[in-house]
Amino acid sequence: MSANSINSISEFLLHAGTEYLVFDLGRRLEPTDSQIFLEIENGSAYAPYPRQQHAWFGIVFWNKNASTQHYIWFVKLPLDEQGLVVAAARNHFLEIIVDALGQSVAEDTENAQKLPDNPYSFVPNQSQLAQFNALVKHTLAQPLSEEAQKVEAYIQAPQLVDWQQISMQSVADFAYRFSTHPKRDTLENAIRNNVSLYSNVFLDTLMEMSESVALSEHLLAMYLNEIDKRSDINLAALRGSSEGSFNALINNKLLDLLKDEKSQRLDILSVIAARHFEQMEPLLLSAFLEQTAKVDEKEGHQGALFAGFFSDLVQIPKLRRQVLTLLHSNANSNVLSNAFQQLFAQARK
C-alpha cells in the first residue's frame, strides 16, 4: 500500500480491511456517517462543527476477522477560510499513516494505534474523552458497566452512597444511556427531587457529561435553573444545557445572561460560542459579539479576542451568512460597530 494509491483516510481504512466509525469532536460530540466523513475530508462538504479553524474527529476502527481489539485515532484537520478541509494537510496525514503502518492495520498489530508524532493528532481533555468513550460503547451496544450502577444508586439515595467512589467515566456512561434506560422516568424524578442533596462535584459532572445528550423538557429546565443558582455562573450547567437544535427556552436564558455583567468573562463566552451556536439567531448573535467586544476592550486585547470569536463563528456553516450579514448591518450598537471597524482595519494591515 502506498500513499500515491490512497486518496482518503476512509479509503485507507477500507483497503486495510477494517470496519470503522467516525465521531465529530468539534462543537458537539456526534456520530458522523462514513459517506459524510468522506465528503468532508475530500473538501466537498463543510465540517458541520468546526472549532479553532479545524475539523476534529475520533475514528474507531477494528478488524473483526482478526480480534475484538478496537483502535482509535483522534485527528484534527485544518480548514480553509470557507470551512473546507485543506487537501494538502489531509494528504500529508495520509502519507504519515501509510509510511508508519503500511498493511499493519489489517494484520491487527499494536502499531495500529501508535502513529508517529504529527501535527494532526490530538489528545482530548478528560471530560471529552469520557464522553467519547461513553458514546462509542453505546454505539457498539456494549453493556453498561457496573460502575454506572453506582451512579443510579447515588441518584436515587444520595444520603446512602459515597459520591467520591463515582468516576467521571461512569457518569458519562450513565448520561449516554439515560435516554433509553428502562427506569428513565423514575431516575429523572429522583434527579429533580434530590438535586439539592447532591454534592456540587457530582451534579456538575452529570451536567457536563450531558452536553451532547438530548434532555427532556424537565431536565433541561432544571439545568437552565442551575446556571445562575449559585453566586457565580455555573459553567457545567451552561455546557450541559446545550442542544443540537434551536430551543426558545435556551435562547431566552442566554439573552438574559448576556445582559448581565457577570457574563463578561472569557470562559463564559467560550462555552456559549462552543456549545450554544445552535441558539444564535440574529438577536443572540449580536448580543454575544457585543459582550465579546466589551471584554476585549476591558481586558486590553486590542481587537484580538473579538477577531478570534468572529473568525471562529463565521466558519460554522449554519452561521456563516448570518455573521457576515451582521458585519454589514446598520443597526449595530456603537460598541459592535467600533469592534467591526477595528476588525476591518486589522484585515487591511
Residue pair 64/71 in contact by the 8 Å Cβ criterion: no
Amino acid at 140: L
Which pLDDT score is estimated for 57? 98
Which pLDDT score is estimated for 133? 96
DSSP assignment of 206-261: HHHTTTTS---HHHHHHHHHHTTTSSS--HHHHHHT--SS--HHHHHHHHHHHTSG
Beta bridge partners of 55: 77
Q: Supply the DSSP symbol for 272.
A: H
Which pLDDT score is estimated for 164? 95
Which pLDDT score is estimated for 110? 58
Say how many C-beta atoms besides its own lie within 10 A of residue 325's C-beta. 11
Helix (H) or strand (E) segment spanning residue 316: none
Which pLDDT score is estimated for 1? 47
pLDDT tens-place values along the chain, 349 residues long: 454 578 899 999 988 888 999 999 999 999 999 999 999 999 999 999 999 999 999 999 988 776 678 889 999 999 998 899 999 999 999 999 888 877 556 555 556 667 888 999 999 999 999 999 999 999 998 888 888 889 999 999 999 999 999 999 999 999 999 988 899 999 999 999 999 999 999 999 999 999 999 999 999 999 999 999 988 999 999 999 999 999 999 999 999 999 999 999 999 999 999 999 999 999 999 999 999 999 999 999 999 999 999 999 999 999 999 999 999 898 899 999 999 999 988 877 6
Which pLDDT score is estimated for 105? 62
